[in-house]
Homo-oligomer: A and B are copies of this chain.
Amino acid sequence: MGVDEDLLKIADLFYNQLSRGEIPAFELPLRTRDNIVYDEKARVWVYGEKEGVRSAKTVKGAYQILKTVCLIEFLKQQLEEGRSSTLRELYYISENWGEAKFRVQSESDFLIEDLEIISSNQREHFHIRPEEDGASVFGPLTVREETRKGDKVIHCQDDVGDAGYLIPNNIDKVEFLEHDAKLVLAVETGGMRDRLIENGFDEAFDCIIIHLKGQPARSTRRLLKRLNHELSLPVMVFTDCDPWSYRIFASVAYGSIKSAHLSRFMATPDARFIGIMPSDIVKYDLPTDKLTERDKDALKAELKDPRFAGDFWQKEIKLQLDLGKKSEQQSLAKYGLDFVTDTYLPEKLN
């Protein structure tokens, strides 16, 4: 069934409720921290069974239903015309919806998430584009991208510059044709990504190198998920040694609370962490910086985060709090520019 039909089903629901003389209403899961449960089978965190009701019984609720209907109409038209828009544009477009105009952008953002949940879609299916830049890809992989001007076939080593293939904001437009890779390496910083390319790590280890650019964009997480799922490639995440980097890993591997309804599409539970660990600071005697108070608080919060409940993380995070230190992936340069590719990564991959 098409996305437009999924959306019209919601409008249908309201229509039928109204024709039966009922007050329009719909139910959806509570999006709160205490309604997040671990799905053993999918190995990701998803929303639990607690539900809330959006009903036109109150004035606020009635406005919400009106806005939902206007939004569905706009999305339907956008899909029909083959157009797309950003969350920000959507907010501004509502300027002309009279009473249904959004007052702040968080309101329209939230409503799009509601629609994702009710209709079991992802916003990309509604042609709502992200603002952020997607990842760059470099390695032995051939893709076919459905572009504005027809399909294009691109080899992510031979047909691109050294900066790699930049994925489009909607990763659904990319199909994997062929590959000659044994693993996917997702790298936090641009400096380290460029180091691996310069050192020829992609060729030496038959490796697809993805630049995460810090906390990865939705399209980047979906790309990693698909590389893992469709091509059965192991995904390794290579980051700095600090609490923010562990969060990057967690969002890749387990999904985020904010988008738990999408974990099944965006999280890669098989992803492995091969970033710098607190025990590596000791093992390799790496240059460090002191943990700030903010770092310490974040580490303590992670100790209680169910995504870090395993022995491995508990031990490492406690060690880091004891050491009082953090370290960057580029600190491996202490042992020269080749240490990361000749020693560190081969040791971690074994």
Stretch at the interface among A15-23, A35-43, A145-153, A292-300: A145-153
Q: Does A168 contact B (CB under 8 A)?
A: yes
Given contacts A85-B337, A95-B334, A334-B95, contact A194 B163 (CB under 8 A): no
Closest to A334 in B: B95
Q: Which of A165-185 contact B (CB under 8 A)?
A: 165-169, 173-174
Give the interface size bracket for A toward B.
35 or more
Docked Cα-Cα span, A316 to B50, in Å, equals 53
Chain B min CB distance to A186 (Å) = 16
Interface status of A134 (Cβ within 8 A of chain B): yes
Spot the interface stretch: A86-94, A242-250, A254-262. Answer: A86-94
Flag whether A161 is at the interface (Cβ < 8 A): yes
CB-defined contacts of A132 to chain B, threshold 8 Å: 190
**Do A336 and B195 have beta carbons less than 8 Å apart?**
no
Structural contact, A92 and B161, CB atoms closer than 8 A: no
Which chain B residues border A334 with CB–CB below 8 Å?
Answer: 92-93, 95-96
The one of B95, B133, B148, B195 in contact with A162, judged by C-beta atoms closer than 8 angstroms, is B148
With A85-B333, A287-B95, A330-B86 known to touch, is A194 a contact of B129 (CB < 8 Å)? Answer: yes
A70 contacts partner chain B, Cβ-Cβ < 8 Å: no
Residue A164, interface by CB 8 Å: yes
A88 CB to closest chain B CB (Å) equals 5
Say whether A145 contacts B161, CB under 8 Å.
yes
Q: Does B161 lie within 8 Å of A152, measured CB to CB?
A: yes
Residues of B close to A88: CB separation below 8 A: 191, 328, 330, 333
Which residues from B are CB-within-8-Å of A328? Answer: 88
Is the C-beta of A84 less than 8 angstroms from some C-beta in chain B? yes
Chain B residue contacts of A167, Cβ below 8 A: 161, 163
List B contacts of A165 (CB < 8 A): 161, 166
Q: How far is the CA of A136 from the CA of B163 in the complex (A)?
A: 10
B residues less than 8 Å from A149 (CB atoms): 157
Verify if A159 is at the interface (C-beta below 8 Å from B).
Answer: yes
A148 touches B200 (CB 8 A): yes
Residues facing B in A56-88 (CB within 8 A) are: 83-86, 88
A264 within 8 A of B: no
Q: Is the CB of A189 within 8 A of B131?
A: yes
Q: Which of B152, B197, B211 contacts A148 (CB 8 A)?
A: B197
Residues on B with beta carbons closer than 8 Å to the beta carbon of A287:
92, 95
Q: Which residues of B contact A93 (CB under 8 A)?
A: 333-334, 336-337
Tell me which residues across on chain B come within 8 A of A136, comparing CB atoms.
Answer: 133, 166
Contacts of A166 in B (CB 8 A): 136, 160-161, 163-166
Interface residues of A (CB under 8 A from B): 83-86, 88-90, 92-93, 95-96, 129, 131-134, 136, 145, 147-149, 152, 154, 157, 159-169, 173-174, 189-191, 194-195, 197-198, 200, 211, 213, 287, 328, 330-334, 336-337
- List 8 additional A-B contacts (Cβ < 8 Å) besides A85-B195, A92-B333, A148-B198: A84-B194, A89-B330, A93-B337, A95-B334, A161-B166, A162-B168, A165-B166, A169-B194
Q: List 10 A-B contacts (CB under 8 A).
A: A83-B337, A84-B198, A86-B330, A89-B333, A89-B337, A92-B332, A93-B336, A133-B136, A148-B197, A161-B167
